[in-house]
Amino acid sequence: MKKGILFVDDEPRVLDGLKRLLRGMRNDWDVYFATSGREALERLNKEPVDVIVSDMLMPEMDGAYLLGEVMRRYPHTVRIILSGQAERESVLNSVRHAHQFLLKPCDMQTLKKSISRAGALSDLLVNERLKKVLSRIQSVPALPAHYARLIDELGSPKASIKDIGQIVSQDMGMTAKVLQLVNSAFFGLTQNVSNPAQAVSILGLNTIRALVLSVKVFSMVNEDDLQRYELTDIAEHCLAAGLLSKELAVMEHQDMNTVDEAFLSGVLHDCGKLMLAANLGEDYEAVVAYKRENHVTAWEAEKLVLGATHAEVGAYLLGVWGLPESIITAIMYHHEPEIYKNTQFHPLTAVHVADYLLRAMDISHTGEKVPSLSENYLFQIDAYDRLPAWWEAGEMMIQDDANAT
Ligand SMILES: [Fe+2]
Ligand SMILES: [Fe+2]
């Protein structure tokens, strides 16, 4: 089925340029144009679209307001800002409403890549139950303790970008958000960034300060959910999975980029659990109850109760945010890696194995069934014989951790 995309810009010249640029896409996309926010909303009222790409500064209704309305009325539409560098300050204000940020003038390759990725992700939304779950989720929440440390650091006259990078790297909500921004053409570089500390230093102290203090870009887990769903344990598990995934990638002599991606995939692999716990209320309660009563893994319970798993939810949102593809793959398939037909070591390999090892060795886990290791997958990538060495690395990490505390 053809997908719909709507471009909004008050300058007809810009729309004409886009029309020319997109001529070759007419087979796959129905392309619409609007010259104001009001016209865009009227268009959407007739027929919602899959993707909206809006200018920032427009008379009457600006892009931030327009995308805020679209978010409220049509939560499944992917929202992209396409704006000039001079509008940096106002673009910061749209950060809570837009998924991606492109820089004007936009080359065809970047534009097409963003659009087709958004389109591919919207195919996931054919699952009606997943669609329902996702419409209630906008962000990966940060942990209150990390947030407090960040505010302290930002308020200090000696605030250092290195310490802020350190704090952000410990928290998956903050990590996901800075990577979303730095991987966008507007705020970042042309190549993918997978290292949260590097992302923080690219954004710079002033941008981070504005994002945290005035735009309030990080959402937070509330204390009740934190206790009730043991979210600190989930966050600690993810951080450990990040460190072990990184270690496994180093052991397998992967390049720097894959090592960073393995770390990041590990840190974010269960971020969907935080999203579900912080946004679904009673429905999540039912997942937890089902898991306890039936002694199944979290993702099996989620699939049965909600019709969607934390892996799908996390992969979808981070995908719409434009995070690097290999990380989305690793998150999406971390429980069933054999579905992804790779034949070599991949961040997915690291995360799947690290997740299993940590849970299999963890003496403090809360009675949840340990997720299984896919031996077929290890044969598929010809790495079955590496398992004893990986197991040893996991044991050493747990031992070091125990010695440190
Ligand atoms: Fe998981
Ligand atoms: Fe996990």
Over residues 329-339, mean pLDDT: 95
pLDDT of 395 over the 80 cut: yes
Residue 354 belongs to some domain of the structure: yes
pLDDT of 26 over the 90 cut: no
Segments forming the whole domain that contains residue 67: 3-126
Give the end of a domain, one of 214, 246, 274: 214
pLDDT of 205 over the 60 cut: yes
Q: Tell me the pairing of strands 3-8 and 29-34.
A: parallel
Based on the domain organization, do 295 and 391 belong to the same domain? yes
Based on the domain organization, do 380 and 323 belong to the same domain? yes
How many folded domains does the chain comprise? 3
At 66, give phi and psi (nearest 5°).
Answer: -60, -50
Over residues 101-117, mean pLDDT: 84
Q: Which of 24-38, 243-257, 262-276 has the lowest mean pLDDT?
A: 24-38
Residue 392 belongs to some domain of the structure: yes
What are the beta bridge partners of residue 7?
33, 53
Give the distance (Å) from ligand 1 centre to CA of residue 237: 10
Higher pLDDT, 89 or 347: 347
CATH code of 293's domain: 1.10.3210.10
Residue 233 belongs to some domain of the structure: yes
Residue 133 belongs to some domain of the structure: no
Give the distance (Å) from ligand 2 centre to CA of residue 206: 34
pLDDT of 336 over the 60 cut: yes
Q: Which residue has the tokens 């909303």?
A: 41
Residue 267 belongs to some domain of the structure: yes
Confidence class of residue 190 from pLDDT cuts 50, 70 and 90?
low
pLDDT of 364 over the 60 cut: no
Instruction: Count Cβ neighbours within 10 Å for each residue of 313-339 and write b for 16 or more, e otherwise.
Output: bbbbbbbbbbbbebbbbbbbbbbbbbe
Confidence class of residue 108 from pLDDT cuts 50, 70 and 90?
confident
Contact between 168 and 162 under an 8 Å Cβ cutoff? The reply is: no
Give the distance (Å) from ligand 1 centre to CA of residue 270: 5
Secondary structure in 3-state letters for 260-274: HHHHHHHHHCCHHHH
Confidence class of residue 301 from pLDDT cuts 50, 70 and 90?
very high
pLDDT of 274 over the 70 cut: yes
Give the distance (Å) from ligand 2 centre to CA of residue 269: 6
Based on the domain organization, do 184 and 83 belong to the same domain? no
Give the end of a domain, one of 66, 94, 126: 126
User: What local confidence, expressed as pLDDT, does residue 391 receive?
Assistant: 95
Confidence class of residue 187 from pLDDT cuts 50, 70 and 90?
confident
Give the distance (Å) from ligand 1 centre to CA of residue 69: 33
**Using one digit for the tens of pLDDT, what is the confidence trace for 40-97?**
999 999 988 999 999 999 999 999 999 999 999 998 899 999 998 778 888 888 888 9
Q: Which of 31-40, 72-81, 328-337, 363-372 has the lowest mean pLDDT?
A: 363-372
Give the distance (Å) from ligand 1 centre to CA of residue 369: 12
Closest-approaching ligand to the CA atom of 332: 1
Give the distance (Å) from ligand 2 centre to CA of residue 353: 10
Contact between 390 and 357 under an 8 Å Cβ cutoff? The reply is: yes
Over residues 335-358, mean pLDDT: 94
Cα torsion for 243, 248, 252, 253, to the nearest 10°?
10
Based on the domain organization, do 254 and 394 belong to the same domain? yes
HSE-CB for 281 with a 13 A CA cutoff? 2
* Phi-psi category of residue 110: left, alpha or beta, with phi > 0 → left and psi -120 to 50 → alpha: alpha
Q: What angle do CA 71, 74, 76 make, to 5 degrees?
A: 90
Q: Where are the alpha helices (DSSP H) in 138-230?
A: 144-155, 161-170, 172-182, 196-203, 205-209, 223-228
Based on the domain organization, do 229 and 331 belong to the same domain? yes
Residue 137 belongs to some domain of the structure: no
User: What local confidence, expressed as pLDDT, does residue 21 receive?
Assistant: 83
**Using one digit for the tens of pLDDT, what is the confidence trace for 70-80?**
999 998 899 99
Contacts of the segment 399-405: beta carbons below 8 A, 24+ positions apart: 401/240
Residue 21 belongs to some domain of the structure: yes
User: What local confidence, expressed as pLDDT, does residue 367 receive?
Assistant: 62
Confidence class of residue 38 from pLDDT cuts 50, 70 and 90?
very high
Based on the domain organization, do 279 and 332 belong to the same domain? yes
Over residues 207-230, mean pLDDT: 90
Give the end of a domain, one of 214, 244, 274: 214
Confidence class of residue 363 from pLDDT cuts 50, 70 and 90?
low
Based on the domain organization, do 263 and 205 belong to the same domain? no
**Using one digit for the tens of pLDDT, what is the confidence trace for 151-176?**
999 999 999 999 999 999 999 999 99
Give the distance (Å) from ligand 1 centre to CA of residue 258: 20
Residue 110, classified by CB atoms within 10 Å of its CB into exposed (0-12), middle (13-18) or buried (19+), is middle
Confidence class of residue 276 from pLDDT cuts 50, 70 and 90?
very high
Alpha carbon separation from 28 to 8, 23, 106, 227, 340 (Å, rounded): 20, 11, 20, 47, 25
Closest-approaching ligand to the CA atom of 310: 1
Give the distance (Å) from ligand 2 centre to CA of residue 208: 29
Q: Would you tell me how many other CB atoms lie within 10 Å of the CB of residue 214?
A: 10
Based on the domain organization, do 289 and 314 belong to the same domain? yes
Based on the domain organization, do 204 and 267 belong to the same domain? no
CA 392, CA 204: separation in Å to the nearest integer?
Answer: 39
Over residues 327-343, mean pLDDT: 93
Residue 167 belongs to some domain of the structure: yes
- Give the amino acid at 253: H
Closest-approaching ligand to the CA atom of 267: 2
Closest-approaching ligand to the CA atom of 331: 1
Give the distance (Å) from ligand 1 centre to CA of residue 63: 36
Based on the domain organization, do 319 and 283 belong to the same domain? yes
Based on the domain organization, do 261 and 370 belong to the same domain? yes
CATH code of 76's domain: 3.40.50.2300
Based on the domain organization, do 104 and 244 belong to the same domain? no
Give the distance (Å) from ligand 1 centre to CA of residue 269: 6
CA 35, CA 6: separation in Å to the nearest integer?
Answer: 11
Give the distance (Å) from ligand 2 centre to CA of residue 286: 20
